[in-house]
Amino acid sequence: MLSCLEPEQQQLFIQTMAASLDLATIRKYRGRTVKALLCKGEGNNGKDTLREAVRLLFGEIGMSDATIGDFKAYDNGRKFDIAKLEGTRINWSSENSSFDELDRIESLKKAITGESLDMERKGVDSHTMNLSTVFLFNVNEAPNLKAGLEAIQSRWAVLNFDKTYKINADPRKGELEADSRFRYDPYFIKEQVCPALLNKC
Delimit the domains of the chain by residue range.
2-68+89-100+134-200
Give the C-alpha separation, 175 to 25, whole Å: 39
Angstrom distance (rounded) from CA 118 to CA 4: 37
CB contact at 8 A, 4 and 166: no
8-19 b/e with 16+ CB inside 10 Å = b? ebbebbeebbbb
Q: Report the alpha-carbon distance of residue 90 to residue 46 in Å, rounded.
A: 18
Q: What is the pLDDT of residues 28-73, one digit of tens each?
A: 898 888 999 999 888 788 898 899 899 988 887 799 999 999 999 9
pTM: predicted TM-score of the whole model, two decimal places: 0.89
Give percent of the chain above pLDDT 70. Answer: 92
Sign of CA dihedral 30, 139, 65, 164: negative
Lowest model confidence (mean pLDDT) among 66-70, 79-83, 96-100, 179-183: 96-100
